[in-house]
Structure 1
Amino acid sequence: MSGRFPIEDVSPVVSCGRYPARAVVGELVPVSALAYREGHDALGCNVVWLGPDGRARPFTRMRPGEPGQDRWHVTIAPDAVGEWLFAVEAFSDPYLTWHNAITKKIAAGQGAVELANDLAEGVRVLSAAAELVPKADRPRLDQATQALRDADRSLSERTGPALELADLLWEHPVRELVATGEEYRIWVDRERALFSAWYEFFPRSEGAVLATDGEPARSGTFATATQRLPGVAAMGFDVLYLPPIHPIGRVNRKGPNNSLVAGPDDVGSPWAIGAEEGGHDAIHPDLGTAEDFRGFVAAAAQQGLEVAMDLALQCAPDHPWVTEHPEWFTTRADGSIAYAENPPKKYQDIYPLNFDNDPDGVRAEVLRVVLHWVGEGVKIFRVDNPHTKPVDFWHWLIWEVKRVDPDVLFLAEAFTRPAMMHGLAKVGFTQSYTYFTWRTSPAEMREYCAELVAAADYMRPNFWPNTPDILHETLQHGGPPMFKIRAVLAALLSPSWGMYAGYELFEHVARPGAEEYLDNEKYQLRPRDWADAEAQGRSLAPFIATLNRVRRDNPALHRLRNLVFHDIDNPALLCWSKRDPTTGNTVLVVCSFDSHTVQWGNTTLDMPALGLDWHDRFTVHDELTGASYDWGQRNTVRLDPYLQPAHVFTLRRPGVPEPDARATTPPVSTAGPQGGTASATKDDARWTS
C-alpha cells in the first residue's frame, strides 16, 4: 500500500499488470477498485487516465457499489488506438463528510448554536471549491457561502443552498489527502478487433475447373476469386480470410482426403508451405502475381471486405528455409528432419520450426515476413496452431508488429487446453477461436459464455460453426435447421463470428470416422455453383445476410461484456439479451437447440438487464419475420425448427410508437395473456449430399 488510503484489487488488470488489458475504441471499459478508510469521514475515488498521446483525459469519478462493500465502479471510453494508462485515486471528501454530518445533526434537532463549527466548516469547504467548479456555477457557490455566514437566517435557509450543491460537488469535488494507486495499462485496438464477421474461402477453388477426360484440372486465381467478392459482401461479412496463398511443397504432398500418395495433378495442402518457387513471402504461381494479389485486396476493399491472411509457421520439406537454415528445424537421431505429429496423426508434408536452436534468426525472419505482408496491405492475420509455438515468441512478435503498425490484428487458431488459450490471449492475440463448436446444449453454452465474459478484459472470442478442419456431428445430422441454429448462436452471442465457405450450401457429408469434410478442400479443388444454389433455393445466404444486417444495425451486438442470460423453463431453449447503455438499444434472442422437434418455453426475464422495471410492458419486434408482440417479464414462445428456430427481437421502449411492421406469415400460434410469438415462412432448402 502506498498513500493515505488503501487501494486494492483494481480491475481491469491482467496477470497482476504484466500484460495490458484490452479494449477497442469507443468501448465502455468497466474500472473498479476496493478502497476504504478509517472512521466515518467520506471517501471518494476517481480514475485518472492518459491516452496514447500522453494527454490526460477528463476527471472520471467512481461511484460506490453495493453498500458496505467499499467497491467503487466507473466506465471509461477510450477514443484512440494505442496504449492507455490509468490509475485509481482515493481522497478524503470534506464536502460529502460535511453534508452527511450536518444532515444527521439537523434531523436530530440540533440548532444553529450547536452547529456553529459545522457551519464554519461548510464555509471552508465551499471556499476551497470556488476554483474547482465551472465559472457558470460559481454564483451558486458564492450564494451558498453567504447563506452559511448569515446568522439572521433560519438554520434551514442557511444550510439549504449548500446542501443543494451535492451534484455539482460530486462532479467537481474538493479532494484532500489524495492517494494514488498503481498505474496499469490498457491496449486499445480498432473496432474490428472486437466486432467482425469473417468468411473463409480458398481462392484456388473460386473459378477452378475440375479435370475431365483429356483435360487437366485448372486452379482458380485471384482474378477469378474476385468474382466471388460481391457474394461475400452481400451476406454482410467484413473480413475475408484466405488460407495460405504461398507455393505448396511437392515432397510428401498429400492427396485427396489426406491420403499419403498424391497424383501428378493433386494440388496439395496450402499449409504445406514452400517449394522451389519460394516460401512464406511468395505467392503460389497458380494464383497469380504479387500485383494480382494487390488488385484482389483492393477489389475486396471496394466491397467493404478486409483481407485476412493465414500465418502458418511451418514448412514443406522443399521450403527454401530447409536448405538455407537447417538449424531452424529439429533433427532426429537418424539425421532426418522431424515432420509434424499429433499422435496418432502424422503430417509428413510439414516440418515444424524449432524456435530454440537459433531464436534470434527465426524471430528476425518471421518478423520480416509479417511486415512484408503488412506492407502489401494486410492488417489481419489468422495464426495457425499458435499453441505449438513458444508463448514468449508470440508476445515478442505481436508487440514488435504493433510497434510498427498498431492496427494489425491477430486471431489465434488454438483449439487446445484452456490455460494455453487464455495465455495466448493475455500475451497479445487480438481474438481467439473457442470451444463454441462443441457446446451443443443450452446449459453448456450458457456456462461457457459466462466464462468468456469473465475473461473479457483480455480475451475476445470468435465463434465459428465450421472450419475446413471441423464439421461437427450436429451439422452432419441436424439438417438445414441446425445450420440456422448454429449461425444464430455464433452471430448473436459473440461480437465476432465466422464461417467457412459451403456452410451456406448446407455441406454436411463427413469423411467416415472423422469430424471433417469428405473430399476436404484442404487437399483438392472444390468449385461451387453459388448462383445455381441460390436460384434453386438451396442457399442459406439470405438468412446469413439478415443476421449480419441485424448485427450491424444494433450496437448492443457489437460488445461482449453486456451478454446477459435469462431463465426459460425448457432445457432445449436458450434466452439471452444484449443492451447498449449509451443508446438504449436492446436485442433479446430466444433460440432452440433442437433441429427436429417443435419446442415451447416460458421466459422469466431479468427486466433491469433490459433497462426496464419489473412490471413494465414493452414491444418486441422480430427482426427475422417482421412481427411485433407485446411482452412482459413472463412470456410464452414456440419455436419450430423448420419454420423458425429462433426469435431475434429488438425492444421498443415504453411509450415509443411501435414500428409499422407486419409478420411475413400469419401467426402459427399465439400464447395467452402474457404474450406470445409466431413463426415465419418454412425454409424450403433441401438437404442434399
Structure 2
Amino acid sequence: MTPPPSSSSTSADAAVTGTPEPVDAPAGTTAPDDSTLPKKWSRIMIPFVRPSIEGGIWPIKRSVDESVDVRAGVVVDSHEAIEVELVVTDPEGETTIHRMTPEENDEYSGRFEVTELGRYAYTVRAWLNRFATWQDQFRRRVAGGEPHEELESELQAGVDLVRAAMENADGTDAKKLKADLEAFEAGDEEAAMGEGIAARVRRNAPHDMMVESQTYEVIVDPKIARSGAWYEFFPRSTRDDGKHGTLDDAAERLEGIRDMGFDVVYLPPIHPIGVQHRKGKDNAPTAEPGDPGSPWAIGGLLEDGTKGGHKSVHPDLGGMEAFDRFVEKAEDVGLKVAIDIAFQTSPDHPYVEDHPEWFHHRPDGSIRYAENPPKKYQDVYPINFENEDWPALWTELQDVFQFWIDRGVTIFRVDNPHTKPFAFWEWCLAELRKDTPELIVLSEAFTKPKTMYGLAKLGFNNSYTYFTWRNTKDELTGYAKELFHTDVAEYFRPNFWPNTPDILHDFLVHGGRAAHQLRFVLAATLSSAYGVYGPPYEHVFNHQHPDREEYAKNEKYEIRTWNWDDPMSLQDFMGRVNAIRKDNPALQQMRSIRFHETKNPNLIAYSKKSGDNLIVVVVNLDPHNPQEGQLDLDNGALGLPHDDAFIANDLLNDTRYTWRGQHHYVRLSPDRPAHIFRLEQEGQEHEVFERPVHD
C-alpha cells in the first residue's frame, strides 16, 4: 500500500499538490507468476470518464482560462465508501489532485481550470476509504444504542485505521492525528464521529484497492482561438487609383480594421505569382496584359530575377521588408496577422525545378496540373505527398510554417487541408506546437462532416463550417445544436464566415443590405469565433458570377478599388456588433447557447450566459419584410424572476425596455434586423467588463 501525496492544506475539499506514484495492489492480491489469475485487481471499477473523444484517442480542446468539467462513473462492490479524485497535470509537469463530488447514479463530478498554453493531462482515480466506511457504521451503532462495551471494541478498529493514516502524515495533520488517536484510545466516541478527523484520515490514509482510469488530454489554445473576429482582405486592392497595392498601403487600413473591432487580419497568399498559364479576370483561361493572376498560383520571379515560393513575398507587395513592417504595425495597433498556407505551386515555383519528384507526373513525364474534370487549373500544380522523397518534402513543408512563425506569425488559414494526408497534418501540427503552443490553424475544408471533424481531432483548432448554407430557422438551430450541444464541441471549434472570396451565397445576393446585416449578427453571436471577407461585405457588393456561387469581378483574379470612407458602408454597424461582443463575456464563448421559441419561423432567438452576463439575440431571417412574434423565455433556466420586472437593454439599437414574465412581443424590420438584448434584474448595476486582451 502506497501513501497518497501529502497535503499542505488543512481544508478537506482543497486541492492538494504532488506527484502521484503508481500504487501496488493491497497485500494478498498478487497472483503467483505461473497463475492465470490477474496480477492485480481492485473492487472498484471506472466505467466511463467524460469528456473524452473516442475513448481518449484524441485530446479535447479548451482556451486559456476556460474550465474542464469532468464526470466519471465509479462503482464498487457492496457498500463501502470510496474516494474519487481528479488528477491533473499541467504543461509544466506540475500535478494537482482534486476531490470529485458524488452525484446521482454512481457518478462523480470535478472541475479544473486551464491557465497555460499547451497540453494538460487528467486522470480519474478511486480508492477504498475504509475509515469513512468504519465511521458511517460506527455512527449508526451509536444511534442504534449499542452497548458501551461493543462500541469500545469497534473503536479499536478505528484506532488501527487512524494509526495507518498517521504513519503517512506530517506537519499539522500528524500532530492532530496523534491527538485523535489518544482520544480514540480513551474511548471518546464523539471524537470518532467528527468531520475533522475524517478529513485528516482521508488526506493521509493508504489508498487501498486504488484504480486509475486511462489518461486523457486537453490542448489549451490562446483565447483568440475561441473568441477572435477575423477580417480578410487583399493587400493588392488597397489603393484608390487601381494600381497594385503594397503591404505598406495595406498597413494604412489596419487602424480602421481595429476600430471596427476585429482581432485578426487575414491575408490571402502574399507570395510571388506564376506567369505560366496565369488566369485572367473571373478565372478566364488566358490572362490579359496587366492581369495579376491568382495568389493561390504560388511561385514566380523576385526582383533579383531568382524564383521565389512559399518563403517569399511578392515584389509588387513590397517584398519581405514590407511584410515585416506590416506585422509590426499590426502588433502596434492591437491586431494579430494571419496568413494563408496553400500547399500547391505554380509552374514557376522553385520546387518544380529543384524537386520535380515532389509532383504528380503524366505518362509522358510532364507534371500534372490540377483538374476536376471537366475543369482544368493549368496554373496550379498539386504536390504529391506520397513520392519516394516524401520525408524531405514533409520536412520542407513543415519548415514553411516555421519560417513565418520566426517572422512573428502564429495564426494560419490552411487552404484545402482535406486534400492532403491526415498523417502529415497530425505530425506537422504536433511538431510545431512543441515550441509554439500559441499556434492557431484554421482549416478551410468545406467537405464531408466526418472529414472536417477528423481534421479538428488531428490538430486544427479552428474550422470553417456550413454556416454559409444554413439560412432558415430550423437549419441554424439544428446546426448550432450539433456544434455546441454534442461531443463535437469538445474538439471542433467552429469559425462562422458569411462569405469568402470563393463563396457568395444567394441569400446575400438577393437579400441585399438587410441580409448582410442579419447574417453578420448571426455569425458574430451564434459562434464566438467568426470571420468575414471584409471589403465586399462592408460595401454590400453582392454581384454574383453568372455561372458560379462566387463574386463577379473576383479579387482572386483582379485588383479592385474600394471606397474605405463610404458613409453607406456597414463599417459602423460591424463595429457596433464587435464592440458588443467585446463588452459581454457571454458572447465570447459558445457552449451556453440556448434557443427560445418565437412563434414565428422567420424570427430566431437564442441566449448566451456567462456568470451574471446574460445576452438574448433575436434576428429577423427575412431580409425583405418586417416580422413580429412572441418571444418565450425560460426564466427559471436563465435566472430571471418569474413575476418581478427586469430590464432588457437593446445594445444594438440603443433602446431599453422593462419586461415582466416569460412572454414578450418583438418586431423587426429589414432596416432593423436584429436585437441584442442584455437582460438585467431591476436595480442591477451593469458591470463594466474588461475587454479581452488576446495573447
Q: Does the 8 A contact of 2:164 with 2:205 survive in 1? A: no
Which stretch of structure 1 is more off in the superposition, 392-401 or 442-451?
Answer: 442-451
Deviation at 1:654, TM superposition (A): 6.6
- What is the alpha-carbon distance in structure 1 between the residues aligned to residue 60 and residue 563 of structure 2? 45
- What is the alpha-carbon distance in structure 1 between the residues aligned to residue 170 and residue 635 of structure 2? 38
Once the two structures are superposed, the pairs formed by residues 135-150 of structure 1 within 5 Å of their partners are none
TM-score by length of 1: 0.85
Which residue is 2:4 aligned to?
A: none
- What is the alpha-carbon distance in structure 1 between the residues aligned to residue 513 and residue 161 of structure 2? 70
- What is the alpha-carbon distance in structure 1 between the residues aligned to residue 179 and residue 656 of structure 2? 54
Amino acid in structure 1 at the alignment position of 2:560 = R
SS for the counterpart of 1:286 is: helix
Which digits, 9 at most, give the CA deviation of each residue in 1:545-582, with x for residues without a partner? 122112212222222232233333322222222222xx
Flag the 1:375–1:160 CA change in 2: closer, same or farther, 3 A: same
Flag the 1:166–1:624 CA change in 2: closer, same or farther, 3 A: farther
Q: Does the 8 A contact of 1:3 with 1:180 survive in 2? A: no
Which residue is 1:480 aligned to?
A: 513
Which digits, 9 at most, give the CA deviation of each residue in 1:484-504, with x for residues without a partner? 211111111112100012211
Q: Does the 8 A contact of 1:255 with 1:263 survive in 2? A: yes
Which residue is 1:350 aligned to?
A: 380
Deviation at 1:119, TM superposition (A): 6.1
- What is the alpha-carbon distance in structure 2 between the residues aligned to residue 141 and residue 625 of structure 1? 64
Which residue is 1:214 aligned to?
A: none
Q: Does the 8 A contact of 1:276 with 1:320 survive in 2? A: no
Tell me if 1:528 matches 2:538: no
Which residue is 2:14 aligned to?
A: none
Deviation at 1:83, TM superposition (A): 1.7
- What is the alpha-carbon distance in structure 2 between the residues aligned to residue 412 and residue 132 of structure 1? 52
Q: Does the 8 A contact of 1:64 with 1:73 survive in 2? A: yes
Tell me if 1:239 matches 2:264: yes
Deviation at 1:101, TM superposition (A): 4.8
Deviation at 1:306, TM superposition (A): 0.7
Q: 1:601 aligns with which of 604, 610, 629?
A: 629
Q: 2:333 aligns with which of 285, 303, 322?
A: 303
Q: 2:219 aligns with which of 171, 176, 187?
A: 187
Which stretch of structure 1 is more off in the superposition, 326-335 or 263-272?
Answer: 326-335
Tell me if 1:515 matches 2:555: no
Flag the 1:631–1:253 CA change in 2: closer, same or farther, 3 A: same
Flag the 1:520–1:141 CA change in 2: closer, same or farther, 3 A: same
- What is the alpha-carbon distance in structure 2 between the residues aligned to residue 134 and residue 529 of structure 1? 73
Flag the 1:100–1:539 CA change in 2: closer, same or farther, 3 A: farther
Once the two structures are superposed, the pairs formed by residues 168-183 of structure 1 within 5 Å of their partners are 176-183=208-215
Which residue is 1:503 aligned to?
A: 537
Once the two structures are superposed, the pairs formed by residues 180-579 of structure 1 within 5 Å of their partners are 180-207=212-239, 209-210=241-242, 218-277=243-302, 278-357=308-387, 358-453=389-484, 454=486, 455-501=488-534, 502-531=536-565, 533-534=566-567, 538-579=568-609
- What is the alpha-carbon distance in structure 2 between the residues aligned to residue 129 and residue 619 of structure 1? 56
- What is the alpha-carbon distance in structure 2 between the residues aligned to residue 341 and residue 332 of structure 1? 13
Tell me if 1:649 matches 2:684: no
Deviation at 1:147, TM superposition (A): 8.3
- What is the alpha-carbon distance in structure 2 between the residues aligned to residue 629 and residue 659 of structure 1? 18
Deviation at 1:131, TM superposition (A): 9.5
Deviation at 1:414, TM superposition (A): 0.2
> What fraction of aligned residue pairs are identical, expressed as a percent?
42
- What is the alpha-carbon distance in structure 2 between the residues aligned to residue 451 and residue 562 of structure 1? 13
Deviation at 1:590, TM superposition (A): 2.2
- What is the alpha-carbon distance in structure 2 between the residues aligned to residue 344 and residue 61 of structure 1? 62
Amino acid in structure 1 at the alignment position of 2:118 = G
Which digits, 9 at most, give the CA deviation of each residue in 1:55-86, with x for residues without a partner? 113x2222234x22x22222211111112221
Flag the 1:394–1:654 CA change in 2: closer, same or farther, 3 A: same
- What is the alpha-carbon distance in structure 1 between the residues aligned to residue 364 and residue 248 of structure 2? 46
Deviation at 1:308, TM superposition (A): 0.3
Flag the 1:635–1:110 CA change in 2: closer, same or farther, 3 A: farther
Which digits, 9 at most, give the CA deviation of each residue in 1:18-76, with x for residues without a partner? 3322222211112222211111223332211111111113x2222234x22x2222221
Q: Does the 8 A contact of 2:166 with 2:177 survive in 1? A: yes
Tell me if 1:81 matches 2:121: no
Q: Does the 8 A contact of 2:135 with 2:193 survive in 1? A: no
Which residue is 1:682 aligned to?
A: none
Flag the 1:92–1:160 CA change in 2: closer, same or farther, 3 A: closer
Which digits, 9 at most, give the CA deviation of each residue in 1:252-282, with x for residues without a partner? 1111111112101111110011113311111
Q: Does the 8 A contact of 2:632 with 2:664 survive in 1? A: no
SS for the counterpart of 1:412 is: strand
- What is the alpha-carbon distance in structure 2 between the residues aligned to residue 230 and residue 42 of structure 1? 62
Q: Does the 8 A contact of 1:143 with 1:161 survive in 2? A: no
Deviation at 1:323, TM superposition (A): 1.8
SS for the counterpart of 2:80 is: coil
Q: How many residue pairs align between the two structures? A: 640
TM-score by length of 2: 0.84
Amino acid in structure 2 at the alignment position of 1:576 = Y
Structure 1 residues without counterparts, runs of 5 or longer: 211-217, 661-689
SS for the counterpart of 2:622 is: coil
Deviation at 1:161, TM superposition (A): 7.2
SS for the counterpart of 1:395 is: helix
Deviation at 1:646, TM superposition (A): 2.1
Which residue is 2:47 aligned to?
A: 8
Deviation at 1:89, TM superposition (A): 0.8
Amino acid in structure 1 at the alignment position of 2:101 = R
Deviation at 1:403, TM superposition (A): 2.0
Q: Does the 8 A contact of 2:649 with 2:678 survive in 1? A: yes
Q: Does the 8 A contact of 1:619 with 1:658 survive in 2? A: no
Structure 2 residues without counterparts, runs of 5 or longer: 1-39, 303-307, 689-695
Once the two structures are superposed, the pairs formed by residues 583-622 of structure 1 within 5 Å of their partners are 583-611=611-639, 618-622=646-650
Amino acid in structure 1 at the alignment position of 2:367 = I
Q: Does the 8 A contact of 2:634 with 2:662 survive in 1? A: no
- What is the alpha-carbon distance in structure 1 between the residues aligned to residue 512 and residue 395 of structure 2? 49
Q: Does the 8 A contact of 1:2 with 1:180 survive in 2? A: no
